Structure 1
């Protein structure tokens, strides 16, 4: 790519990181470390004890299968039965907290709160109590993509009634777990729910109605989140004394050149990717970003629509969403380069999310590549992202709620160790520059069902033997390194774990 330019400033950042990697660095006092999972990806027990069908249960049983290895999450890591071993792993690592999600249909089999499944409540009560017994803080995600199939048949996240359905579901969780759970995330990764699930075939329900469906979804996700935040704030906060926020997937988009067009392309890409969800909550004035509204409005008019395909937020809705988070949960993995090239107009469907964005996204082939095609190691992009959040949103309290690296498997995962060290090093640079970062969450505690990629990509600190009925979990080198980081509250680039890879 002849246009590809890596700025001198980025080279200086890289040199700075290289210098700092040579010395031991300390994390702030009271900084907390955890690991993260999602219910469908690890639990299994897909139809046990009264659980209803989710959109992922339906998707993975389609014929032909849309999953690359034709696998399912029917058993996955079998955490529904092996949760005590999971807690042992948390204790082995010395985790301060564990971020997990609740399966909506394990609690409410048909999606509605008129029928509560006691066996589902019992499972999560056992998990939470086992964690607390071992001094591990539960960090509960209310929704991580496994929408009840019955609700999807009614339109799912494109139906405005889901605001009430989701609020009723959240109330059940607050009522049953809020006495012990003090950290809550309403919704995990709105963009992946809306664009990948409703605007493409990348995630269930694979609606693939781009340029329209993802924007209907976007508004309803924001309103559902805000409604649940308001519910907690008004009905539960005083007695349960917890915190509640949202996790947004944030990819740093960097211009490939110093031209105005490429800078604007990168800004537009960031505003579509995560500003669409962060700006209404965390910005000074609320509402969707102006770049999002302008781009979609102009494109809609050009295409003959009578009004913007983006459903605008009313004054009342802007006020409801604005400030509706106690912290900014940042899920981040990689960086992309962005540019604008009018000569390739028409490369995306019309209408579509990507055409509305009008930015071309690429990677630098020199960046270290993970097993996942979309994932490259770019620690300076992580730093830039954190600085931008600080500047753009008045330095909110931030938890890194997902960050990780995929391999094809194996216990000696030196590339994952390098990735974690480089990203944590960049995080410490951001902290030194005033970013209000309170904690870090490794994705993932263990190997899991990686959505459309099945079991072909492994993110776990622990390797899971999916061929074994016992789903044996074995710590990788990265688990030992992460354990030492937590134990010492320092990042030591010289630490080398024992060769036997054992805790």
Structure 2
């Protein structure tokens, strides 16, 4: 009997310490609402690898890294990446370890439709995503599926890609295949990721695939076709699948938060115009009552086009029928946000930008607050209140839609002691809590990203992962960073504790030891009893 009591007390002691600590550390800390979810995010080309396996066709990124490998900063590519095509179960194990309830991932269009069209559906591609979805559900993790995260089949790219109006039908056909094959289990769909970034870098500056440089013409045409393609997919889901599958479908937009650099009327108007061009261009057609671009944007681009001697605006507004078809075609507002900026407008910005271009149409300058912490590897400044202000802006501008933060993160170089990323997450999640207090209907947060991934033209020179990937190891070993331990604790406690400071060197071994002792204790109890 003494041994039974000893073992019982031992089990209680080893399993209750963390809850006592939790009660102490959460005093005076705000708690996320019960219906708020935590997750992480990735995209197919950035982590899957297996670029020419399993019946997959070529994407325009497969084409770029073969025809212009020097364009990638460190000369890498996504051919193998984190090899999640073969190691997806390892990724699910990481999600389970973090304790998140949502995983946002994307489906590679050329892995499902190697030639871009639905006349041939690749069974191996369908099987891969079925396996991933089923593995997530078996571990109580909800799949949030992005239909398109910049992986256009190369043969569709050669037929005009996002610069041809036909792509709305191509995209609708592709989306229908996904709904039919996965919609019985996938209840959250994101049509297209970050149309502004995709069009700006792919068809404006030419820094992303397909490397078309047309900043004041192709950029706007790409965005217009993306809105039409999104609406097409939404209506297909709404008419053909929603009643039987019961899911929701929306879009993910990206936005920096712009604030006036001074109290001058020009700076105030400049910041408002910045938000109109960068966010409103894509949000207004879907979330406003007009179904069209913001009138302020229509007027500014038309004025600039006239200055350039053109007979019509480079921005083609939606027709009355198209606008009507756009309205209300997003069940939620997916938001990707990384950084903020101050905006000014004065004579110093007149004529300095390439014309035609969005920047020339907008005519503003930007600068960061010198007190904001900047990561040393990329473009992100840390200012958590910027996210709060952006969320309030969306609430006030678009009638307080349901918002899911589908990406938010901070890049570092290699290494696992990423305390600056952990501080970024803390600061931005506190901004989310502030926004919730402000009445914003924000319901979830996905950290970008689960694992180190191929960061497009930056290659692996910047790392956003909660888990480090050993690129030199054929097994692509995944190791937690300091930020993973901090995020795990935020998920577990549903609070943001600034004093929580895990030991990166010992945390995993402590977890293993505790688990081993508990299992051993239970085994001994079974033997004794």
Q: TM-score, normalised by structure 1?
A: 0.94
SS at match of 2:50: coil
**TM-aligned CA deviation for residue 501 of structure 1:** 4.3
Q: Provide the C-alpha distance between the structure 2 equivalents of 1:422 and 1:215, rounded to a whole number of angstroms.
A: 34
1:163 and 1:227 in contact (8 A); partners too: yes
Are the equivalent residues in 2 in contact too, given 1:42–1:76 (CA < 8 A)?
Answer: yes
The answer (yes or no) to whether the contact 1:477–1:501 under 8 Å persists in 2 is no
Residue aligning to 1:493 = 498
> How far 1:103 moved relative to its partner?
0.3
- Tell whether 2:36 aligns with 1:31: yes
Distance in 2 separating the partners of 1:255 and 1:192: 22
CA contact 1:24–1:493 (8 Å) conserved in 2: no
Q: Secondary structure at the match of 2:67?
A: coil
Q: Does 1:365 align with 2:370?
A: yes
Residue 515 of structure 2 corresponds to which residue in structure 1? none
Q: 1:391 to 1:117 in 2, by over 3 A?
A: same
1:401 aligns with 2:433: no
- Over the aligned positions, Cα root-mean-square deviation in angstroms equals 1.3
User: Is the contact made by 1:187 and 1:247 (CA closer than 8 Å) also made in structure 2?
Assistant: yes
For residue 351 of structure 1, give the secondary structure of its aligned residue in structure 2. coil
TM-score by length of 2: 0.90
Q: Aligned partners of 2:159, 2:351: CA distance in 1, in Å? A: 33
Change in Cα spacing, 1:282 to 1:221, as seen in structure 2 (3 Å) is same
CA deviation string 1:295-329 (max 9, x = no partner): 10000111111111001101111111111001000
Post-superposition CA distance 1:417-449 (Å, at most 9, x none): 110000000100000110001100000000000
Tell me if the contact between 2:220 and 2:314 (Cα under 8 Å) persists in the aligned partners: yes
In structure 1, the partner of 2:296 is 291
> 1:63 & 1:152 partners in 2: Cα distance?
16
Instruction: Answer whether contact 1:475 1:501 (CA < 8 A) is retained.
Output: no
C-alpha contact (below 8 Å) 1:266/1:338 kept by paired residues: yes
Q: Give 3-state SS (helix, strand or coil) of 1:147's partner.
A: coil
Q: Alpha-carbon deviations, 1:202-241, whole Å to 9, x = none?
A: 2111101110001111111001001100111111001000
More helix by share: 2
Q: Is the 8 A contact 1:43 1:79 kept in 2?
A: yes
Aligned residues: 483
Are residue 139 (structure 1) and residue 139 (structure 2) matched?
no
Question: Where does residue 322 of structure 1 map in the other structure?
Answer: 327
Shift of 1:413: 1.0
Q: 5+ residue gaps in structure 1?
A: 1-20
What CA distance in whole angstroms lies between the structure 2 residues aligned with 1:462 and 1:110? 34
The one of 36, 53, 57 aligned to 1:48: 53
Say if 2:226 is the partner of 1:221: yes
Mapped to 2, the partners of 1:294 and 1:423 lie a distance apart of 35
Residue of structure 2 in register with 1:417 after alignment: 422
Q: What SS is found at the alignment partner of 2:299?
A: helix
The equivalent of 1:382 in structure 2 is: 387
Q: Is the 8 A contact 1:371 1:457 kept in 2?
A: no
* Aligned partner of 1:231 among 232, 236, 261: 236
Structure index of larger Rg: 2
How far, CA to CA, are the matches of 1:154 and 1:436 in structure 2? Answer: 41
How many Å separate the matches in 1 of 2:311 and 2:266? Answer: 28
Matched, 1:431 2:431: no
Q: Any conservation in 2 of the 1:246–1:328 contact (CA below 8 Å)?
A: yes
